[in-house]
């Protein structure tokens, strides 16, 4: 009764839809072009033939596919199309859990009387997305989130894979171990010591052996290998986050530029929180230095917030010791990211929190101006200098399932 709907090469597909001259051509979305220091946000299937994939450095993508058309990320347009997709999904069930800008889980139990069995619902969703938005989606249908997610990836683009209840283990068995959630390079190498190459191989390993090698993560791996995933479709705050990242054109040690960038990233995340009607209970910082070493730090907040000032203050406090350490090694900053996590529904503030009330009203006024006149119609004075990223030109959030759960 669970569907995983995943739009195919979403950013690139939107651009090809809107610009017919790009159809059939390799399109790469991300940064400012082939010489940009950023990474690929999306690649059309014509570009993927050459080995281009998401998160690849743009310069590498250019070397692999020099004939590709490089386009900047248009976050505002993609967010608008994402909302339209989610509106279609909610026609079929209220239980929709978006896990990134281009994919979502659906629990369609109770929808059969109106729309047919789960495979029929999947076909209807694919048809609606194609006819109304001019895009394609791949859908996996299964009894668990894990299996539905893996199923949706197998026949892209425009695929539909159905796994009958009770057939999860047999479906997973021949697939390479890398397809299983939580199996990154470190875990893959460790499992290779036991002769594990496929998910079926992992399912055959005694659970006590996995527990001795991986601790508490061992039994989890064993369950996943058999298709067991008790997680329901929902909006659990602990499993959700919103983030923005920025890769500097030139590595920088300029403290003012770094702080302005953090403020811009916090502004973008705060705007998305308010759009979604949620507040963050925690903030995390991502920093990558000029040696490509990536550091992440996080902290919980005293009270949930959707204000940029609160997110910025927390991110800056997390960043300062790391910036000193980077400078002490004679390095510079290549990338910064700010994420909000532990998301909860926004609630009315207390009666006597006047200062916060004024800041919230100011934020609401800014949101109203941007909705009417565009994202760039109003900005903080501090962000009008340099090449600070626009608050809503963001990288889509990465769901926990894609981050993996490497032990240690």
All residues at 6 or more sequence positions from 402 whose CB lies less than 8 Å from its CB, including other chains: 100
Q: Which of 103, 168, 245, 267 is labelled catalytic?
A: 103
Q: Is 158 in contact with 180 (CB distance < 8 Å)?
A: no
Q: Is 207 in contact with 215 (CB distance < 8 Å)?
A: no
Q: Is 319 in contact with 359 (CB distance < 8 Å)?
A: no
pLDDT of residue 272: 83
pLDDT of residue 98: 86
Q: How far is CA 275 from CA 16, 266, 279, 345, in A?
A: 27, 14, 10, 12
| Model confidence pLDDT, tens digit, residues 179-201 | 998 787 888 899 999 999 999 99
Distance CA 401, CA 282 (A): 19
At 252, phi and psi to the nearest 5?
Answer: -135, 150
Q: Is 26 in contact with 65 (CB distance < 8 Å)?
A: yes
User: 10 Å Cβ neighbour count for 63?
Assistant: 13
| Model confidence pLDDT, tens digit, residues 228-243 | 988 888 744 344 678 8
- Axis crossing angle, helix 75-90 with helix 118-133, rounded to the nearest 10: 140
pLDDT of residue 400: 37
Predicted confidence band of residue 248 (pLDDT cuts 50, 70, 90): confident
Residue 218 has pLDDT above 70, yes or no: yes
| Peptide bond preceding 157 in cis form (omega within 30 of 0) | yes
pLDDT of residue 250: 83
Distance CA 363, CA 358 (A): 9
Distance CA 346, CA 309 (A): 17
All residues at 6 or more sequence positions from 388 whose CB lies less than 8 Å from its CB, including other chains: 257, 260, 261, 264
What domains are there in the chain, each with its CATH number?
A: 1-138+149-159 (3.30.70.270), 169-225 (1.10.150.20), 237-403 (3.30.1490.100)
| Model confidence pLDDT, tens digit, residues 353-407 | 445 556 556 666 665 555 545 555 556 555 555 444 544 433 333 343 333 333 3
Predicted confidence band of residue 351 (pLDDT cuts 50, 70, 90): very low
pLDDT of residue 192: 93
Task: Enter the pTM of the model.
Answer: 0.62
What strand order describes the sheet that includes 27-29? 42-43, 27-29, 69-71
Average pLDDT over the chain reads 84
Concerning whether 103 is annotated as a catalytic residue, the answer is: yes
pLDDT of residue 401: 39
């Amino acid at each position: 009764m669970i569907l995983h709907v995943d739009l195919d090469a979403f950013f690139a597909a939107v651009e090809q839809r809107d610009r017919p001259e790009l159809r059939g051509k390799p399109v790469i979305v991300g940064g400012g072009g082939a010489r940009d220091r950023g990474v690929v946000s999306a690649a059309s299937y014509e570009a993927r033939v050459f080995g281009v994939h998401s998160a690849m450095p743009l310069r590498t993508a250019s070397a692999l596919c020099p004939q590709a058309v490089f386009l900047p990320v248009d976050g505002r347009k993609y967010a608008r199309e994402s909302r339209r997709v989610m509106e279609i999904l909610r026609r079929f069930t209220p239980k929709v859990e978006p896990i990134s800008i281009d994919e979502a889980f659906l629990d369609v139990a109770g929808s059969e009387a109106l729309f047919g069995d789960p495979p029929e619902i999947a076909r209807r969703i694919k048809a609606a997305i194609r006819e109304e938005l001019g895009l394609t989606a791949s859908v996996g249908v299964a009894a668990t989130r894990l299996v539905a997610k893996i199923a949706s990836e197998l026949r892209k683009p425009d695929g539909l894979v159905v796994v009958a209840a009770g057939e999860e283990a047999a479906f997973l068995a021949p697939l390479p171990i890398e397809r299983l959630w939580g199996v990154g390079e470190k875990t893959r190498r460790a499992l290779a010591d036991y002769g594990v190459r496929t998910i079926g191989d992992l399912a055959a390993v005694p659970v006590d052996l996995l527990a001795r090698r991986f601790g508490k993560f061992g039994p989890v791996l064993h369950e996943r290998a058999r298709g067991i995933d008790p997680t329901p479709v929902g909006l659990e705050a602990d499993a959700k986050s919103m983030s923005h990242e920025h890769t500097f054109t030139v590595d920088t040690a300029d403290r003012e530029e770094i702080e302005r960038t953090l403020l811009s990233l916090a502004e973008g995340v705060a705007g998305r929180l308010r759009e979604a009607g949620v507040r963050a209970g925690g903030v995390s910082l991502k920093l990558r230095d000029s040696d490509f070493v990536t550091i992440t730090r996080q902290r919980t907040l005293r009270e949930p917030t959707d204000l940029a000032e609160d997110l910025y203050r927390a991110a800056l406090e997390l960043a300062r010791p790391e910036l000193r350490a980077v400078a002490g090694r004679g390095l510079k900053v290549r990338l910064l990211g700010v994420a909000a996590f532990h998301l909860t529904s926004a609630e009315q503030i207390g009666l006597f929190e006047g200062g916060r009330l004024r800041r919230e009203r100011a934020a609401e006024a800014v949101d109203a101006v941007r909705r009417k006149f565009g994202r760039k119609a109003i900005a903080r004075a501090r962000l009008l200098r340099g090449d600070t990223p626009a608050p809503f030109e963001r990288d889509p959030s990465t769901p926990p399932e894609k981050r993996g759960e490497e032990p240690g």
